Structure 1
Amino acid sequence: MLLKQLTEVYDILDSSTASGQKVADYLRSIKADANVEIQVLSGAKGSTDMVKVRIPGKNGKSQGGTAPTIGLLGRLGGLGARPEMTGFVSDGDGALVALTLAAKLLDMQVKGDYLEGDVFISTHVCPDAPTQPHKPVPFMGSPLDMAQVNQAEVTPELDAILVVDTTKGNRIINTRGFAISPTVKEGYILKVSDDLLDIMQTSTGRLPYVFALSQQDITPYGNDLYHLNSILQPATATNAPVVGVAITTETTVAGCATGATHFVDCEEAARFMLEVAKYFGKGDCKFYDEEEYALIQKLYGPMGHFQTKGRN
């Protein structure tokens, strides 16, 4: 259960004065030597606090070990849309889940439970992000360009990435809870990981949900193509396999809507991601089939051009 951490993180983020420093202070109150980095990033529409947390594993690379490193990234435009909207917006769920995971993993270490591999957690804290037009409901904007976010949180140390993001402003997935995407790697949309489906149905006690991807969704923002949202944008900036964890609803809900965060859904998504981190570090969870990936590349060649903005 991560409800305690979820409640505590929400209390920090649901504020007009939310900041990366307040998040760092909270995480260090759990474990004094927590490796928390705050980086202030500025863009054309304002600034935000990027929060990066590195949590070492027993056999992680940071300790000279061989266990793989997983990245747990929280995507969002902002926690709030002030002054247009008052309070925590639906779009903030990605940050809420990512920082809840950081708090839980630190608490586990205090209690003597260490994962095998390193875990890298990143998101950003912005209480007053802009909004932008989008159909069927408005999107939250961001003070930053997407390339800035990718550069800050997609690091070479990551062997696999889970990206959690509010994904409610669409008609692609129509269920309350969360859904995962097929694995995306170097321009390819691969089959859905059986290991992730197994973990998902175990952690939720229900059959798993998978949301559809179009080829446009895995191309970089700024090319004038359709994008479901930014959930797969990290895949444009890494060779590591990336899977989206979409927090979903039955109806279309605007990212700038307040009163639309469901604790049960966020907790389930966080608990799933925690279990994936446990199994991945032990080598018991694969995001893709390496042999099949080698074969598809042999048959059809590299698809890395889909990680670029294409031809001018």
Structure 2
Amino acid sequence: MILKQTLVAMELLDCPHVNGAVIKDHFEQYQGIYCEVNTVHGEKGKTDFVQIIIPGLSGKLNRGSSPTLGVIGRLGGIGARPSHVGLVSDADGAVAAIATALKLADMYKRGDRIQSDVIITTHICPDAPTFPHKPVDFMDSPVSMAEMNHYEVDQSCDAIISIDTTKGNRIINHKGIALSPTVLKGAILHVSDDLIRIVETCTGHPAVTFPLSMLDITPYGNGLYHINSILQPAVAAQCPVVGLAITSAVTVPGCATGASHASDIALAASVCVETAKQMSAGNCKFFCTEQFEIFSSLYGSMQHLQG
């Protein structure tokens, strides 16, 4: 469990004045780690997109061939000020992503370097809007989903884990983390056996998974139901995407404060770090290539669902 880094990330983000520069300044202590910030203005405010890159020994940044893992902290905003004071439940994805980056950066600094590059992205907005949703209100975002995907989905990734608070529903009645099936080019595939193994190793419990509908993997704004934005990166990505949900046993609004549990966030970060290690060692596949090829030959491309 990556508890120390999770607590550091929570302290960094739980501030009305936090922005991308604060995160970049914190990562200045790690030589060789890249951190870039882009401020984007939208109709409902602005946010800072943060990208942190941990180079691998034989990753693409070093002209190697090891696969690149992307970790996206997906959310509307880390705060809903001024109506809600403090870190909101929706912030868990950003906290988990930053904690993942901190742990990998600590490893890198100490000499525990993996083969693969890891690209961590999220966005920092302490005063995001909200919008009505049943059974509980959702956090909104100051920028569009297309802009979020533009800044958070790096096309150099060979696989992506999308972390998102997924508590505002009655589908997942479990406190902790839950894993989605793999989504690739508009197709919902079976849950990765390797990722199940990693989740069970990190939690010490049987893996909890959650269902996806075809509606969930279509773009936001089309009038269809979505469990939340956890699989929206799959709309833009050409690589396999898996949702890693931070969950609760009851429905919790995304704009609720006091609802972030460091132990659950740390579990999600641990899964991301261990997945990076396993991918780096060639021991983790997000999908079965043969099964995807058979599916595609029988039923054709599903990529029209990405548009």
Q: Same fold (TM over 0.5)?
A: yes
* d(CA) in 1 for partners of 2:9, 2:152: 20
For residue 85 of structure 1, report the CA deviation from its aligned partner: 0.4
* d(CA) in 1 for partners of 2:280, 2:219: 29
Q: Aligned residue for 1:17?
A: 17
Report 1:48-87 matches (<5 A).
Answer: 48-87=47-86
Report Cα offsets for 1:35-63 as digits up to 9, x if no partner.
10000011110100000011100110100
Report Cα offsets for 1:182-210 as digits up to 9, x if no partner.
00001100000000001111111000000
TM-aligned CA distance change 1:109 to 1:96, over 3 Å = same
For residue 7 of structure 1, report the CA deviation from its aligned partner: 1.1
The DSSP-based 3-state class of the residue aligned with 2:73 is strand
Q: Aligned residue for 2:302?
A: 303
Q: Aligned residue for 1:214?
A: 213
Identity over aligned pairs, percent: 51
For residue 290 of structure 1, report the CA deviation from its aligned partner: 0.2
Q: CA RMSD in A?
A: 0.7
The DSSP-based 3-state class of the residue aligned with 2:46 is strand
Q: Aligned residue for 2:103?
A: 104
* d(CA) in 2 for partners of 1:6, 1:295: 41
Contact 2:33–2:55 under 8 Å retained in 1: no
TM-score w.r.t. length of structure 1: 0.97
For residue 3 of structure 1, report the CA deviation from its aligned partner: 1.4
What letter matches 1:113 in structure 2? D
Q: Aligned residue for 1:274?
A: 273
Aligned residues: 307
Structure 2 unmatched ranges of 5 or more? none
Q: Aligned residue for 1:263?
A: 262
The DSSP-based 3-state class of the residue aligned with 1:293 is helix
Contact 2:31–2:109 under 8 Å retained in 1: no
The DSSP-based 3-state class of the residue aligned with 1:201 is helix
Q: Aligned residue for 1:40?
A: 39
For residue 123 of structure 1, report the CA deviation from its aligned partner: 0.1
What letter matches 1:208 in structure 2? A
Q: Please state if 1:175 is matched with 2:160.
A: no
For residue 34 of structure 1, report the CA deviation from its aligned partner: 2.3
- 4+ runs deviating over 4 angstroms: none
Q: Aligned residue for 1:132?
A: 131
* d(CA) in 2 for partners of 1:305, 1:66: 30
* d(CA) in 2 for partners of 1:150, 1:123: 10
The DSSP-based 3-state class of the residue aligned with 1:178 is strand
For residue 154 of structure 1, report the CA deviation from its aligned partner: 1.1
What letter matches 1:62 in structure 2? L
Q: Aligned residue for 1:202?
A: 201
For residue 33 of structure 1, report the CA deviation from its aligned partner: 4.0
Q: Please state if 1:188 is matched with 2:179.
A: no
The DSSP-based 3-state class of the residue aligned with 1:134 is coil
What letter matches 1:285 in structure 2? C
* d(CA) in 1 for partners of 2:53, 2:19: 19
What letter matches 2:3 in structure 1? L
Contact 1:27–1:102 under 8 Å retained in 2: no
Report 1:278-297 matches (<5 A).
Answer: 278-297=277-296
Contact 2:163–2:244 under 8 Å retained in 1: yes
Contact 1:50–1:123 under 8 Å retained in 2: yes
* d(CA) in 2 for partners of 1:221, 1:198: 31
The DSSP-based 3-state class of the residue aligned with 1:183 is strand
The DSSP-based 3-state class of the residue aligned with 1:181 is strand
* d(CA) in 1 for partners of 2:204, 2:227: 27
Contact 1:182–1:193 under 8 Å retained in 2: yes
What letter matches 1:214 in structure 2? S
Q: Aligned residue for 2:149?
A: 150
